[in-house]
Chain A
Amino acid sequence: MSELPAEPPPLWQRLLSRQALGGWVLAATAVVSLLAPLGLDDAQLTIYVFIGLYTMVVAGLSLLMGFAGQVSLGQAAFFTIGAYTAAILTRDAGMPSLLALAISTTATAGIAALVGLPLLRLRGHYLAFATLAFQLIVLSAISQVPQLTGGDTGLTAIPTLSLGPIALHGQFRTFIFAYVVWVLAAGVLVMNRNLVRSRPGRGLRALATSEVGALAAGVPVTRYKVQVFALSAGYAGLAGGVYAFFVGYIAPETFPVLLSVQFLIMAAVGGLGSVWGSVLGTAGVYLLIQVLDTVGTAPGLPASAPAIFSYAVYGLVLVAIMLYLPQGVLPAIQARLVGRRAVSAVEAERSTRAS
């Protein structure tokens, strides 16, 4: 039986190994995200905050789809639930914003667990459409109870984030929000990384291949699926809550189905199941959307131009990724850098075996 050579790979390969590359991206992200706000104006900082918020959502989605093999086309529903819960608790119930944020995050995860119990019996396309339907139900439910949610006009004057007597107002508001959001995003990413490398993480990856095999190995498949669904929803709920505090105004039209599609594309671009890829995918797609908006609103273009541009580009990006980089951008780069030797060795062995 021929085995792969056991000698340690050269230094440059070890520095570019999967784990090490994750570390590099982590370090680079940390440095860039700490320094970046210093050099950005308010408009740019706003984009920066949004990228951080969406990164949290996408990180959860990437975990759900890439590791547990479950598809969600309605991730924006949980973003919506988090935003509305946080808004109502602070604005109408007068709760301190941090407490409201904790409750809304937990509540979103709880709702996902309840919805997930029946939904996660479905697979693939069925699960995707069921989650999509869930988002439509959430949006229409919000329109149905205007006393609580403001109906189609939405909720305005949502309090900002505050810690005791200190509220985020004034000149440095966006600047501080940027740090708050990225600390939360970093927390989410580190939690994901830890989960992936642990007992439950291995169980999730196992059930994505074969639920029967995972069950036989003692993996509580249903519980794990519901937990990871609730977790991804919790991330989205947290991001939604902070979004409400940051923007101060929410309405059903803030959370269209297209937002769920956006999250999905971001996750796919970054690489499903790639923890650090979710940062890259989110930032890349979000910036692309900004560019398109700028182009689409240029003088002389019809009013429908931005929408047409974004739909067309979503489609193109998704098709291109699926065709050329099905594992996503970051995993593809890693494979290029690290995997070539190992992969070719495996393939060589396979072909000798087949012949």
Chain B
Amino acid sequence: MLEARGLTRRFGGVVAVDEVSLEVAEGELAGVIGPNGAGKSTLFHLITGHLRPDAGRILFGGRDITSLGPDRRARLGIAIAFQAVRLFRGMSVLENVMVGAHAWSRSGFWEAFFRLPRHRAEERRILDRARRALERVGLGDSADRPAESLPLGQQRIVQVARALCGEPRLLLLDEPASGLRAAERERLAQLLASLRGEGLTMLLIEHDVAFVTRLAERITVLDHGRVIARGPAAEIRDDPAVVAAYLGQARERASA
């Protein structure tokens, strides 16, 4: 469904992502792991469209989307949950989720000004799907609260609800578990597992190896911007190159 071919991105002289290729099949929960500074976030932003690659192409459902902006990609069915929480201030949880419906809804300024029947029907559909998405992630009771009043773990889950409200074909998650407490992390893992059970295709980019190996079928490992290993979760965990990459970092940190 998603295919990245030879993605490269440089910042000044630093090659953050170096000829990375990646494939996510329909219905799969694919994982990308790597130690800090491996280029995970850069790769993520290349796939979302917030960064443009210096080389390489991205295909989605066979279509070349390399030159499309993030809003166009969202309309094609790519939804995103960010690491740095980006809930919208001054809006309720429900309204935040409703924004996600931009991916499939169409009403513009004129329809809104005059409350045309088509627009009202669409508003009802948006509201309905947003409520369903919130129920789906278990936050139905918080619909009317100000979004910024939720704890971090729930804000991440609201992001997932916002993504679901857009009825995505592919959900991209950037370090969804970072900064969460154990209970919140557990809740998120269960949610992602059950979404996978419903057939949603996902790409999970994450620092926490245990979190990813538990959920993902196939894993790609990045280090210094390059793919150093890929394969089924069980094999990856014991791959010497992967262990060395993570251990190397631990050693550097210990000696620092």
Chain A: residues with CB nearer than 8 A to chain B?
Answer: 1, 3-4, 6, 191, 194-195, 198-203, 205-206, 208-210, 212-221, 227, 231, 346, 349-350, 353
Contact = CB atoms under 8 A, between A and B. Distances in A.
Given A198-B107, A200-B109, A210-B88, A215 B141 contact: no
A217 B145 contact: no
Contacts, number: 113
Contact of B90 (A198, A199, A205): A205
Nearest to A201: B112
Contacts of B105: 199
Binding site of A, secondary structure by majority: helix, strand, loop or mixed?
Answer: helix
Contacts of A349: 149
Contacts of A1: 151, 154
A203 B111 CA distance: 14
Contacts of B23: none
A218 B112 CA distance: 18
13 contacts: A1-B151, A3-B141, A195-B109, A199-B126, A201-B112, A203-B99, A205-B88, A206-B91, A206-B96, A209-B86, A213-B82, A213-B88, A218-B75
Interface string B72-95: 001100011010001111110001
B13 interface: no
Interface of B: 48-50, 69-71, 74-75, 79-80, 82, 86-91, 95-96, 98-103, 105, 107-109, 111-115, 119, 122-123, 126, 141-142, 145-146, 149, 151, 154, 162, 166
Contact of A217 (B103, B107, B141): B103
Contact of B74 (A198, A201, A217, A346): A217
B141 A199 contact: no
A331 to B, nearest CB: 11
Contacts of B74: 215-218
Nearest to A347: B149
Contact of B89 (A4, A194, A209, A217): A209
Contacts of B69: 215
Contacts of B108: 200, 227
Contacts of B98: 199, 202
B95 to A, nearest CB: 6
A23 to B, nearest CB: 15
A220 B75 CA distance: 10
A199 B122 contact: yes
Closest A-B pairs by Cβ, 7 of them:
A213-B86, A218-B74, A198-B112, A218-B102, A218-B103, A215-B70, A216-B80
A218 B71 contact: yes
A202 B119 CA distance: 14
B90 A215 contact: no
Contacts of B145: 4, 346
Contact of B102 (A191, A205, A212, A219): A219
Contact of B113 (A195, A209, A210): A195
A287 to B, nearest CB: 30
A216 B70 contact: yes
A269 B48 CA distance: 40
A200 B112 contact: yes
A261 to B, nearest CB: 26
A214 B88 contact: yes
Contacts of B146: 346
Nearest to B96: A206
Contacts of B88: 205-206, 208-210, 213-214
B77 to A, nearest CB: 10
Contacts of A346: 145-146, 149
Contacts of A218: 71, 74-75, 100, 102-103, 166
A328 B75 CA distance: 36
A212 B44 CA distance: 13
Given A3-B141, A195-B112, A209-B88, A217 B119 contact: no
A205 B91 contact: yes
A355 to B, nearest CB: 14
B99 A3 contact: no
B112 to A, nearest CB: 4
Contacts of A209: 86-90
Contacts of A200: 107-109, 112
A215 B102 CA distance: 10
Most chain B CB within 10 A, of A191, A205, A215, A227, is at A215
A249 B167 CA distance: 56
Contacts of A4: 145
A239 to B, nearest CB: 17
Nearest to B168: A218
A194 B80 contact: no
Contacts of B82: 212-213, 216
A217 B112 contact: no
Nearest to B50: A212
Given A200-B112, A217-B100, 7 more contacts: A1-B154, A194-B115, A195-B113, A199-B112, A212-B70, A213-B87, A218-B100
A220 B141 CA distance: 30
B91 A199 contact: no
A199 B149 contact: no
A202 B204 CA distance: 28
Nearest to B100: A217
Given A200-B108, A217-B74, A194 B114 contact: yes
B91 A202 contact: yes
